């Protein structure tokens, strides 16, 4: 049976994707030199926010996600980032594969709020693996389950996330609004002959005495 170790060796943006995508580079090692025919791999990726410190500005923004910092010992819980699948081709000894992970910048999603709040430092990821390994030995083909305890840590610089979003949305963010609010904003733009959404928001903020910096 297979004796597997899986490591995450790199995370980088997909530069030419149709939507924001991160590439997780995995190294799969078979420690007993058993030839592997294929692995149907499942990867659960979680953020473990309790594994890093936060400056005052970050803490202020994160109150929307975790509550007051005085309660973080109870509320700072792992966030589900993604669940993806990948096929690992045949290898002996070790191999590396790229696993694409679709991302969102929706600030109504917990992970979007978390990434947006971080100014510097790292994002503490943990990758949990499962799936099925296939191989061929003297007794014919065999099938083995990837053990549930198999996992890997990766400390991704927040700059990696920021670089990806700048590739797809340069100097922009996304806010989800109800259809009625969007309709009202469109009527406001038409009434005041405002060309862009940004200009409409700036005018509304100025009227409320909350001009953008």
Task: Assign 3-class secondary structure to 13-36.
Answer: ECCCCCCCEEEEEEEEEECCCCCE
Closest CA to 99 of 30, 152, 50: 152
What radius of gyration do the chain's Cα atoms show?
22
Q: Give 158-184 pLDDT, tens digit per residue.
A: 999 999 988 888 876 667 778 888 888
Q: Is the pLDDT of residue 213 over 60?
A: no
Q: Using 50, 70 and 90 to split pLDDT, how confident is the model at 17? A: confident
- What dihedral do alpha carbons 142, 148, 153, 156 form, nearest 10°? 90
Domain boundaries, the chain: 4-168, 177-213
In 19-139 the beta strands, taken as DSSP E runs, fall at 21-30, 38-47, 79-88, 94-102, 122-137
Q: Is the pLDDT of residue 26 over 60?
A: yes
Q: What is the pTM of this model?
A: 0.81
Q: Would you tell me which CATH number, out of the four given (1.10.3470, 2.60.40, 2.60.120, 3.30.160), belongs to the domain 4-168? A: 2.60.40
Classify 178 as helix, strand or coil. Answer: coil
Q: Give 74-117 pLDDT, tens digit per residue.
A: 999 999 999 999 999 999 999 999 999 999 877 668 888 899 89
pLDDT recorded at residue 211: 57
**pLDDT (mean) for 33-42:** 92
pLDDT recorded at residue 177: 79
**pLDDT (mean) for 142-164:** 93
pLDDT recorded at residue 112: 86
Q: Is the pLDDT of residue 2 over 70?
A: yes
């Amino acid at each position: 049976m297979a004796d597997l170790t899986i490591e995450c060796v790199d995370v980088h943006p997909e530069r030419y994707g149709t939507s924001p995508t991160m590439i997780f580079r995995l190294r799969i090692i078979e420690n007993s030199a058993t030839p592997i025919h294929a692995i149907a791999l499942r990867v659960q990726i979680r953020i473990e926010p309790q594994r890093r410190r936060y400056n005052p500005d970050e803490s202020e923004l994160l109150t929307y996600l975790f509550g007051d910092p005085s309660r973080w010992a109870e509320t700072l819980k792992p966030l589900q980032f993604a669940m993806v699948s990948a096929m690992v081709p045949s290898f002996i000894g070790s191999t590396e594969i790229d696993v694409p992970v679709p991302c969102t910048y929706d600030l109504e999603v917990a992970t979007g709020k978390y990434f947006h709040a971080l100014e510097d430092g790292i994002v503490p990821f943990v990758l949990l693996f499962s799936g099925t390994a296939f191989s061929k030995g003297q007794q014919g083909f065999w099938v083995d389950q990837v053990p549930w305890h198999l996992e890997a840590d990766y400390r991704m610089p927040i700059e990696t996330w920021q670089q990806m979003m700048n590739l797809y949305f340069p100097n922009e963010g996304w806010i989800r609004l109800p259809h009625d609010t969007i309709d009202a904003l469109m009527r406001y733009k038409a009434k005041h002959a405002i060309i862009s959404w940004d200009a409409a928001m700036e005018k509304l903020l100025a009227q409320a005495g909350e001009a953008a910096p």
